[in-house]
Amino acid sequence: MTPGTVYLVGAGPGDPELITVKARRVLGEADVVVYDHLVDADLLELTRPGCERIFAGKKGGQPCRPQSEIDGTLVRLALDGKTVVRLKGGDPFVFGRGGEEASALEAAGVPFEIVPGVTSALAAAAYAGIPLTHRLHSSAIILLTGHEDPSKEDATVRWEDYARLKATLCIYMGVKNLATIARRLEAGGLAPSTPAAVVQSATTDEHRRILGTLGTIAALAARAQVEAPAMVIIGEVAAFSDRLAWFESSRQLAAAR
């Protein structure tokens, strides 16, 4: 049997309208959709009647399917001749383990395509009114994972090094370790007064933002009981959110009507 194609599709940050045209098309052609925890349920309604849906979501601190099992499921379904959409929050190649899944498919001889999605850093910043680059304030963006315990001696992210780059830092999965991350950035020379923001559940009805500085943002996020999914943005451009937070302003206007 000729293997089916697996599409590794980015579902975007939460708002179903931010999915790409190609992603909508392949969802409508799929025999099976293997989807993640953060995928909006409305996107599953874009599938055709009879499309099988398999949940493979992961949520921090809760039991989840091992990545090897998800890889094996994709391979098995494709070898059965099915067209498969692996629907992942954000972009599959930005902290989405899409590289591992693509490697497993390649090793098994299964054809695949990558359909990029709007990654959380871009969406959270845009909806919070934070221009990640600005001619006068930032000419570089760095995407980092904060999931790893930054206090480990063998931690792969050397936070002190990133403190010296004068770039906008976008930290995925960093709320739990934010206090330690902030201390290490300060130790690397980043001023405690550097503007910072945390954006929770960006682009959705639960969207909210907490603004502060590198020296205060961890305490502010803890006081606000911020939970995942949340994006941490540190850099001079975070200060723009005070004036450019269009999404919250539009929601407030709509609520007042």
Active-site positions read 36, 58, 173
What is the separation, in whole angstroms, between the first and last Cα of the chain?
58
Q: In the chain, which residue ranges form alpha helices assigned H by DSSP?
A: 21-29, 41-44, 67-79, 98-107, 120-127, 159-162, 178-187, 217-223, 241-244, 246-256
User: Is the distance from CB of 217 to CB of 232 less than 8 angstroms?
Assistant: yes
Q: Which residues of 38-76 are buried (b: 16+ CB within 10 A; e: fewer)?
A: bbbeebbebbeeebeeeebbeeeeeeeeeeeebbebbbe
Phi and psi, residue 15, nearest 5°: -65, 115
Phi and psi, residue 23, nearest 5°: -60, -40
Task: Give the position of tokens 């809760």.
Answer: 62
**CA–CA distance, 146 with 81 (Å, rounded to integer):** 39
